Structure 1
Amino acid sequence: MGRRSDHSREELREIAVTAGHRHMDEVGFAHFSAREVAKRIGYSIGTIYNVFGSYDALILAINGRTLALWRDHLLRRLSGVQDDRLRHAIIAYFEFATNHRHAWAAIYDFRLPEDCTPPDSYQAEVRAIFDIVIAEVRQALPPARKCESEALTRSLLASVHGHCVFAMNGTFAMLGETSPVDAALCRVRDSVGSLMAE
């Protein structure tokens, strides 16, 4: 790739995020290297930090790309689905995590310093996924309980996430669970069903 003057700042940002996301998807957060990203795009590490401002900002940009891809995958999976949409949403969760194992895990592996908050653009990507799932949970609840959909969604996401992590790290296999997706769906249905029965 060319030298610094070959690309505008915005072009360079996009090139670095694309290469960085590919690198993250290959090796995961623990083995991620900003220098490797710079090498892949033919620029110096100093140029990378000049564009993003810091290592943390680079990781947030890469994780933000993962979140955007995840959102798009979820929307595609739910498109045109009429019945049992929560099941399809859970399947989409497991699919994306499996197909982008390292990049998906990096969302959770990376931590900002306690005195820092993610930029609004990053929080918007997180919220976009959350809002899609909230809408599906709300749809499944009776009218009198729809106001509880946001709090319930947080708990359900935690449950599905735990099932997904156990599936991918081999814990469920050791415990004899052969269908983590179905197990997660059962827990979701139990929770939703308990509210409908009250």
Structure 2
Amino acid sequence: MGRRSDHSRAELEALILEEGQRLMAEMGFARFSAREVAKRIGYSVGTLYNVFGSYDLLLATINTATFERWAAHLEQRLHHASTDRIAALVEGYFSFAADHPNLWSAIYDHRLPADMPIPEGLAARRGALTDIVVREVVAILPDATKERAPRLARSLVATVHGHCAFALNGSFALLGESDPLEMATARVKESLLAAGATL
């Protein structure tokens, strides 16, 4: 039986997101079920859609919460970095993906329908992750090229993502590569040095 009067809308949203992330971490995107989330929290699946608007927006919100966890993970790595903050960023990317493979994969497995733009609020929250990379890139570029930082940061994220994905899906192992983290870090630093960065 549903517990429709047990929680305020804000409390219900937080409850759904918490259980949704837990289920995504356990089952992965392909086996994720809004009905199972509803069952676990004691509400109907219709309640989930009333709160989030649709299945796609529920997934987008769950994935946005993952972006926020990931950003916090990067900030923690940077807080404890001794001097090599770029290496700390790359390691933070790899370690979050390795520690939370289903949550990380779901970010890339789910696509909103072509006619459904991501809500501005969710996009802004997701952008905090890239903002960290941009901030760190700006800090090491010469004044004359700092305006290139956002575009360069996006390219670097793509480079690290490719290496990380190959590492996690076993492609690098098949190629005989034993240290994809070192490779990714080296490629990032090469790109930064080519842009005039001081490392």
TM-score (norm 2): 0.94
Distance 2:105 2:176 in 1: 23
For residues 186 and 168 of structure 1, the distance between their equivalents in structure 2, rounded to whole angstroms, comes to 18
Residue type of the partner of 1:13? E
Gaps of 5+ in 1: none
**Aligned positions, number:** 197
Q: Distance between the aligned counterparts of 2:142 and 2:27, measured in 1? A: 44
Q: Find the counterpart in structure 2 of residue 7 from structure 1.
A: 7
Contact 2:2 2:44 in 1 (8 A): no
> In the alignment, what sits opposite 2:56?
56
- Alignment match, 1:157: 157
RMSD value, Cα: 1.5
Q: Partner residue of 1:193? A: 193
Deviation for aligned residue 1:140: 2.2
Rounded to whole Å, the distance in 1 between the matches of 2:46 and 2:70 is 30
Question: Amino acid of the residue matched to residue 195 of structure 1?
Answer: A
Please state how far the C-alpha of 1:84 moved relative to its aligned partner: 1.1
1:102: which partner in 2?
102
- CA deviations over 1:78-109 (Å, ceiling 9, x no partner): 11535110100000000111111011111111
Paired-residue identity, %: 52
Range with bigger deviation, 132-141 or 161-170: 132-141
Match of 1:36 in 2: 36
The 1:167–1:80 alpha-carbon spacing in structure 2 relative to 1, beyond 3 Å, is closer
Cα separation, 2, equivalents of 1:10 and 1:102: 26
Secondary structure in 1 matching 2:117? coil
1:13-24 to 2 correspondences below 5 Å? 13-24=13-24
How far residue 142 of structure 1 moved from its aligned partner, in angstroms, is 2.3
The residue number in structure 1 matching 2:84 is 84
| Contact 2:29–2:109 (Cα < 8 Å) also in 1 | yes
Cα distance in 1 between the residues matched to 2:81 and 2:181: 18
What is the distance in 1 between the residues matched to 2:185 and 2:25? Answer: 27
Moved over 2 A (4+): none
2:27 matched residue in structure 1: 27
For structure 2, which runs of at least 5 residues remain unmatched after alignment?
Answer: none
Provide closer, same or farther for how the CA distance between residues 51 and 170 of structure 1 changes in structure 2, counting only shifts above 3 A. Answer: same
Q: Secondary structure at the match of 1:172?
A: helix
CA apart distance, 1:151: 0.9
- Hey, what does 1:145 align to over in structure 2? 145
Q: Which stretch shifts more, 171-180 or 144-153?
A: 144-153
> For structure 1, which segment, 138-147 or 59-68, has the greater mean C-alpha deviation from structure 2 after superposition?
138-147
